[in-house]
Amino acid sequence: MLTYAPTSGASVWEVFGFGPEGVASVSAKAATASDGASVFYNPGGLALGRGTQIELSGTGMLSWLETQGTTQPIHDPTGGSLAVATDVPLEGPLADRLRVGFGAYALPSKLMRLQMRPGTDPFFPYYDNRTQRLTVIPAIAFRPARWVGVGVGANVLAGVSGPVDVREGQSRGLETLIQQDVRTVAAWVAGLRVAPVPELDLALTFRQSFGVPFHVLTTANVAGVPLRVEVDTAEALYDPAVVVVAGAVQPSDRLRLEVDGSWSRWSAWRGPLLSIDTTVSALSLASHSPEGLFRDTWAVRGAGQWWFAQSADARLGAIVGVGYETSMLDTTVRQGRTNFIDGPKLMVGAGTTARFPGLVGRALSLSVGAQWQRVAATAQDKQVCTSVPCAPDTLVGPDTDRPGEGISNPGYPTLRGHGGVFVLSAGARVEL
């Protein structure tokens, strides 16, 4: 089921950036990436690159996110990325116009981890269970003119649906009939890149939202008693639809500056919780996920790359980046049983790159990048139910006669959270 999601989307790159340069520049790369990382940042930029680039990098994360006085770790905090971009050697009208790219992120020991928390757990849904999975994006890009590139990539996803039936079989024991289908789901990444003059690049990127659909309807019949359990999550491992508009200028051979603005449609998310609908021996129960908690976010990111030292054998550059993103949680909406936490984020990145022409292939580049994401402190006072029936945005204790007493919700009386995440990435790129 969950186990059958062999591939998924762009989460690690969406949250922290692709490779050391992406991490250092806080993902302000949509108007400058033309290597393998462009499959994520802007497939249109892929078309404006040349030759073959292969980059291997490793990324590690360290969390200081804190809720209710407890640090929230990021599980499986290390992984490796592969980025490949190459020309398609065609002749005739397609000569020098077509390029392909491939980006992948893999955890060291597992394909993925799917973790859906109980509804009362305090956690940061923006960071929780978004980076623990394989990511694969192949892309193709076309250059209709020397200064225009268009490209498209596909996040190939998989979801599960199907029936499960359990009953006593001819063996007089439990026998199961399960027909679960793991179907492909594709989410698109599309990009347009325009370079009207050599010193200016403009970019537009759209990344389709995606999640891992999972829906299992279980039925059983024992001695005439029907049983039904429906477990559903339409959007596990969710990433929202994103639109990025970016511009970059290169005032000199040594300096390049970029500013990106992005909009992420978090308001379409149905939330990080499992939906359960059961009927067991005439007892029907259903979970109720809160609605209207998530809102769209806006972000602005800026980065600069400065080649500060240059010789015939080597070129050394520095990258700095800074960004800000609004919270994906609407703090004006009071939560009941749930304890989701998020806040505005400040991102600061820095890194360095050393390029050695002719050392391996056309050039070998070694890069390292670091990023600090700071989540502003947030707090929300919980409201206690005073009389039954209770409103969904209130907390209730075990006793119907005294619903405001004995509340054990971990977010009571005040839900608090803040903290940060430190990310470090290092890699090597070969140009052929």
Q: How far is C-alpha 234 from the chain's CA centre?
A: 16
> Could you say whether residue 220 binds other proteins (CB under 8 A)?
yes
122-123 and 339-340 as β-strands: parallel, antiparallel, unpaired?
A: parallel
> Could you say whether residue 104 binds other proteins (CB under 8 A)?
no
DSSP label of 146: T
Q: How far is C-alpha 76 from the chain's CA centre?
A: 14
> Could you say whether residue 398 binds other proteins (CB under 8 A)?
yes
- For 146, what's the count of Cα atoms within 13 Å in the CB-facing half-sphere? 3
Our CB check for other proteins shows the closer of 261 and 397 to be: 397
> Could you say whether residue 413 binds other proteins (CB under 8 A)?
no
Max CA-CA distance within the chain? 83
Residues 224-283 within binding reach of other proteins (CB under 8 A): 225, 227-229, 231, 273-274, 276-278, 280-281, 283
> Could you say whether residue 399 binds other proteins (CB under 8 A)?
yes
Our CB check for other proteins shows the closer of 177 and 268 to be: 177
414-431 and 255-264 as β-strands: parallel, antiparallel, unpaired?
A: unpaired
Please, what is the minimum distance in Å from the beta carbon of residue 133 to other proteins? 9
Please, what is the minimum distance in Å from the beta carbon of residue 199 to other proteins? 33
Cα separation, 297 vs 268, whole angstroms: 12
Please, what is the minimum distance in Å from the beta carbon of residue 99 to other proteins? 14
Our CB check for other proteins shows the closer of 108 and 198 to be: 108
Cα separation, 279 vs 220, whole angstroms: 11
68, 117, 147, 322: which one contacts other proteins (CB under 8 A)?
Answer: 117
Our CB check for other proteins shows the closer of 158 and 187 to be: 158
60, 70, 181, 358: which one contacts other proteins (CB under 8 A)?
Answer: 181
The tokens for 145 are 């003119």
218, 267, 326, 331: which one contacts other proteins (CB under 8 A)?
Answer: 218
Residues 25-54 within binding reach of other proteins (CB under 8 A): none
> Could you say whether residue 78 binds other proteins (CB under 8 A)?
no
51, 80, 162, 357: which one contacts other proteins (CB under 8 A)?
Answer: 162
Our CB check for other proteins shows the closer of 41 and 105 to be: 105
Cα separation, 116 vs 348, whole angstroms: 30
The tokens for 225 are 């008693």
Cα separation, 11 vs 6, whole angstroms: 14
Neighbours of 338 (CB within 10 A): 24
Our CB check for other proteins shows the closer of 107 and 246 to be: 107
137, 140, 160, 244: which one contacts other proteins (CB under 8 A)?
Answer: 160
Number of residues that bind other proteins (CB under 8 A): 85
> Could you say whether residue 145 binds other proteins (CB under 8 A)?
no
Cα separation, 152 vs 158, whole angstroms: 19
Please, what is the minimum distance in Å from the beta carbon of residue 343 to other proteins? 24
> Could you say whether residue 90 binds other proteins (CB under 8 A)?
yes
> Could you say whether residue 190 binds other proteins (CB under 8 A)?
no
Cα separation, 115 vs 118, whole angstroms: 10
The one segment of 19-27, 211-219, 341-349, 363-371 that binds other proteins by CB under 8 A: 211-219
> Could you say whether residue 118 binds other proteins (CB under 8 A)?
yes
Strand partners for 165: 177, 219
Three-state secondary structure call for residue 360: coil
Rounded to whole angstroms, what are the CA distances from 317 to 21, 37, 117, 199? 11, 18, 43, 18
184, 196, 199, 356: which one contacts other proteins (CB under 8 A)?
Answer: 184
> Could you say whether residue 432 binds other proteins (CB under 8 A)?
no
Least Cα distance to 205 among 342, 426, 18 occurs for: 18
Please, what is the minimum distance in Å from the beta carbon of residue 233 to other proteins? 9
Burial class of 314 by CB neighbour count within 10 A (0 to 12, 13 to 18, 19+): middle
Residues 355-394 within binding reach of other proteins (CB under 8 A): 385, 388-390
Do 47 and 142 meet the contact criterion of CB atoms below 8 Å apart? Answer: yes
